Structure formats: C-alpha cells, structure tokens
A and B are shown apart, each in its own frame.
Chain A
Amino acid sequence: MNALILSAVFGVVMMFSGILLKQKSAVRNLAIAGILLLLVSNVLETYGTAFFKVNVNGMMYFDRLALFFNTIVFVSALLYFLLTAKDMEKVGVNYAEYFALIFFILCGITLTSSFKSLLILFLGIEIISIPLYILTGTDKRNLKSNEASLKYLLLGAFSTGLMLMGIALIYGAKGTFSTEGANLVTDKPSVLLVAGMILLLFSMSFKASAAPFHFWTPDVYDGAPTVFTSFMATIVKAAVFIAFIRLFDEAFGTLRAQWQLWIAVITAATLFIGNITAVFQQSVKRMLAYSSIAQAGFMLLSLYAMNTDAKEGILLYVTAYSFATIGIFAVLARMNDYTFDGFNGLAQKDPLVAGSLTVFLLSLAGIPLTAGFLAKFYMLKATIATPQGLWLAIFAILMAAVSVYYYFRVIQAMYFKEGDDAKAPETTPVFRGTLVILAALVILLGIFPDLLLHWFYF
C-alpha cells in the first residue's frame, strides 16, 4: 500500500517537475530520489511499517510475494534510472513526463502484484499498458516509433477486450470478482468459467508476449525508443508474469487439469519461435526482442509447474533476466549502430563495457556462475518435478542451446572482430560504475542465489 500510493503521488510530482524545474539533471535526480523513496517505503512495509491504513475491502492483499516482488521491481527500476535516465533526454522534449509515465506504470505494477479481485487485475494491467502506448510513440518524428505505438495500442486494446470478456464470463459463472470466490470449483467446472479462464489465458499470454500472441513484440520493441524498450522488456514483463502466476495459482489453481496442457503448448511454441527467429536477426535490438520472447518461454515453465520451486524460481528468473537485459539495453542505447557489426572490436576500445556486456549475455544464455544459469536450473527442476514435465524440460534445454548461438554472436563481434571506424559509446563514470555493479550482482546471484531468496522468507 505504501508503494502504491507513493508511486501515484510521485507520478503527479514528476508531471509538475517538468514545469517547475528548469534543469534536466534536477528532474533526473528527483526521479531517482522518488524511486529510492518507493524502495525504502516498500521495504518498511515488508517489515511491518505501513504508512497508510486503507480499507481495500479484500480486493488487494499485500503478502510477502507481492511486497518482495515490488522490492525487486524497484531495485531494477533504480538501476534502470541510474543507467539510462540520461539517455532519455535524446528521445524528446518532454523529459519529466517520461518519468511521470514510468511512475504511473510502477503504480500499475504494485496493483498487478497484489490483486485479490479480477477488477484490480484489470485496472493494474490497464495502468501499465496505457502509459506504455505513449512511451512507445515518444519519438514523434520517427515513423517506426509511430507505427509501433499505433500497433501496440490497437492490439493491446483488442487483448484488453478479451480480458474483460473473460472476467465478465467468470463473474457470470461465479457471481464474484474475487479470485478466492472463483476458486470454488465443483467436480465439473461450468462452461462459462472455463471459457472465461481461456480468454484470460489468451490475453495474459498476449501481454507477456507468449507465442502465438507474440506478433506485436518485435515491431513494438524495435520501434520504441531503446531506453523505453529496456523498461518494457524487463520490469513490465516481470510484472505481467507475477500477475499471470498469481491469477492461475489463486483463481484457477483447482482447474489445473483444464489449463496445464494449454500452458505446455504455449510454452513450447514460445520457446521454439522466440529462439529460432532470434537466430536470423541482423539487428541486436530486434534480436533482443525475440530473445525476450524466448525468455518469456522459460518463465512460462514456472506457470506450468506451479510448485514452490517454480515460485522461488520465477523471482530469481525475473531478477536475473531484468538485471542482464537492462544492462545490455543501457549499452545499446548509447551505440550508434544497432547491427551485430556495430559491436565489432568493442573489447579493445572499451574493455570494461565489453566485459560487463559479456557477463549479461552469458547470464541470458544460462552459462554457469551467472544468475541466468541458476534461474533456468530452478525452472527446469520445477518442471521435471511435475508428472509429465520431462519432455517440456528437454525441449527447453534444447532451445536454450540454440539461444547460445545468437548471444555469443555479440560476444564474438566484440572480442574477435576488428572494428573499423565505429566509435565506442560515450560513457560517464556513474554509468560505468552502475554497469559494473550490475554485472557483479549478476555473478553474485549466480553463485549465491540464496542472497535473494533468503529475503523472500525473512
């Protein structure tokens, strides 16, 4: 509740900071202070200090999972701000508004992580989506950015319609919006309930960019300004996944026999399409868009398995994935050339940035001693523990092997190819420092995952 209210208020504060503060650095520092405040207040609430006593009528529930997830999101957002806030200046003139929109998205994320009612889920998903449509189109002079924004708006609105229809059908079947009430299932679930659940499954798959609902992802991620692609592909995707898991655990847990095969098929399709298509990309940004689809496939494994390992694993997975991807996008936003050739010879020009980038890419590929490896390990362990999960786990491992190819292409370009005239990205000491800290965190989580998971329980 702390984070929810403060993030909404801070969104408004950031709106006015654009009018009142003349210097861009002041706006940026205010945003960083805001995210720190959110982080601290959320941690305080985790340990019992709630600033606001609001009667939510059982529509929200701030349990450990919600609060811990919020903490992960705010830490990621803090690192994101430190790395890329300066690059947002290049996007357009409304600098403060970008931060305001991001704070509103964070407000939506606190809703999706703590909903107990399908209405709050809908509200959260919408509060996340609408600022994203705007952020996608912020590069107003760029035709691709406009196209991406329009495409995202139309397809997003369509999937929101599916979600509403699903919620309406579930209300029709159960007479309540509460996720607990929806869980009262008899031997034979009604057609209305199952139809509503399938519609919700489709619309959430769309928001999480799972195949075959992924078609918007490459165009939108490619068209949006790189700094905002970074936010969309990491923090927002993590929020959608936590909502996805909460929904199917709490509301449809007893209907598992009905949806498990659907999830398995979607997972396999997502892994296959994401990884195979990423191999053929020429632009690193577009490759990362497909890689985010592929990583979503891995995250879907936790939904398929839905046991303790899966829940711990998804927290580790979103952390590992967000940290690594934020780091890669932060460097990418400062590159002049988004193709693989643009990275040629980066290791000689800037060994520190190239080294950190290598750590992030290794983590995404799932190489041991990085956080990505243990995250994938948890997912596979959880999948194998389910009765028929073995084939899915084997398929996931095969696809992870494919992913090594396109991640290593970047590493190969940086270390083993001669860069001719391309310049190294300009960096500031803060940027380099944060990048190294991020890389260190990725390695640290790869060696001691309990550093993160410990806080889930204590």
Chain B
Amino acid sequence: MFHLLQTGLNSTDAGSYLPVGIQILIAIGLVAFLMFATHMLGPKRKTTDKLQNFSSGIESHGDARQPMAIKYFLTAILFVLFDVEVIFFYPYAVNFRELGWNGFWAVLMFVGFFLCGFTYIIKKGALKWED
C-alpha cells in the first residue's frame, strides 16, 4: 500500500492520480458499507415517540415552511454583507505602513462605495422596522 504514495512530485500523467482515486473509492465504499450494515444489522423498534422530530427535547409545533416577514431576512443579509466588508479592514490594518498613500486611497474608495450602498439601503427603507 505504501508504494502508492511514493509517486514523483513532478509527474504529470493521469496515472499519478491513482492514489487519489483509490482514496475516493474507499471513502465512498466505507460510507455505503456502514450505512448498509447498520441498516441490516441493527434491531428496529418503532414507537411514536421515537419517530417524532427531536429538537432539544422541546415538542415541535407546526411546520417550518411558513411565510414570514421579509424584514428579518433583509436585516440578516445586510448584516452579513457589512460584516464581510469590515473583514477587509483587518488585512489593511496589518499592512497599513507598507501600502502607504496608494493603499489609503484604495481603501478610501472602497469605503466610499460601501457608504454609497449604506445610504442607498437607508433611503430605500430597508432597515425600517415598523411598517
């Protein structure tokens, strides 16, 4: 088995992917085997309690597929959007000195576009909670 891992680093033919192929086959085979085995070997005692949905021990009510107000979704997605934009400041802060004025103008432009978007969503009323 070990010699399969000893392929040259610079070999370019498809054969050098054989170990990867074997690995994929083993991964799929193992999952399939385990699912099949547990299904066949384990005992099955179905009771109404066991077949119920389980969530933290609290009894479930109704269906999750209900229409709900779009404002929850909007607030959540806008939060994610601005959160991700703020993440870009961290690499900038680390490289603040190296990037110099060029980096400063670039980030200023980034913040400018970002503020445009922010003004836009406020003007559009996307953050208005009470109707």
Which residues of A come within 8 Å of B, CB atoms? 12, 15-16, 19, 188, 190-192
Contacts and interface: CB of A to CB of B under 8 A. Distances in A.
Interface stretch (B31-39, B57-65, B86-94, B116-124): B116-124
Contacts of B13: 191
A15 B126 CA distance: 14
Nearest to B10: A190
B53 interface: no
Contacts of B14: 191
A12 B123 contact: no
B12 A192 contact: yes
B113 interface: yes
Contacts of A15: 116, 120
A371 B13 CA distance: 48
A19 B123 contact: yes
Contacts of A188: 12
A19 B124 contact: yes
Contacts of B124: 19
A188 B116 CA distance: 51
Interface string B1-18: 000000000001110010
B interface secondary structure, majority: helix
A-B pairs with lowest CB-CB distance, top 9:
A190-B12, A19-B123, A191-B14, A12-B116, A15-B120, A191-B12, A191-B13, A16-B120, A19-B124
Contacts of A16: 116, 119-120, 123
A19 B120 contact: yes
A140 to B, nearest CB: 12
Contacts of A19: 120, 123-124
B12 A12 contact: no
Interface in B13-34: 13-14, 17
A16 B17 CA distance: 53
Nearest to A173: B12
Interface in B82-131: 113, 116, 119-120, 123-124
Nearest to A8: B113
Contacts of B123: 16, 19
Nearest to A94: B124
A242 to B, nearest CB: 27
A188 B12 CA distance: 9
Contacts of B113: 12
Contacts of B17: 191
18 contacts: A12-B113, A12-B116, A15-B116, A15-B120, A16-B116, A16-B119, A16-B120, A16-B123, A19-B120, A19-B123, A19-B124, A188-B12, A190-B12, A191-B12, A191-B13, A191-B14, A191-B17, A192-B12
A146 to B, nearest CB: 15
A96 to B, nearest CB: 11
A191 B120 CA distance: 48
Contacts of B119: 16
A192 B16 CA distance: 11
A15 B14 CA distance: 51
A16 B116 CA distance: 9
A190 B119 CA distance: 50
A239 B90 CA distance: 35
B24 to A, nearest CB: 16
A19 B125 CA distance: 11
B69 to A, nearest CB: 16
Contacts of B116: 12, 15-16
A191 B124 CA distance: 51
A19 B124 CA distance: 7
Contacts of A191: 12-14, 17
Nearest to A19: B123
A16 B115 CA distance: 12
A12 to B, nearest CB: 5
> Which of A188, A190, A191, A192 has the most chain B CB atoms closer than 10 A to its own CB?
A191
A192 B123 CA distance: 50
A80 to B, nearest CB: 25
B113 to A, nearest CB: 7
Contacts of A192: 12
A12 B121 CA distance: 12
Given A12-B116, A16-B119, 6 more contacts: A19-B120, A19-B123, A19-B124, A191-B12, A191-B17, A192-B12
Nearest to A192: B12
Nearest to B15: A191
A41 B124 CA distance: 31
Nearest to A193: B12
Nearest to B14: A191
A192 B14 CA distance: 9
A291 to B, nearest CB: 38
A345 to B, nearest CB: 45
B29 to A, nearest CB: 24
A188 B13 CA distance: 10
A151 to B, nearest CB: 20
A19 B120 CA distance: 8
Nearest to B17: A191
Nearest to A189: B12
Contacts of A12: 113, 116
Nearest to A186: B12
Nearest to A191: B14
B108 to A, nearest CB: 15
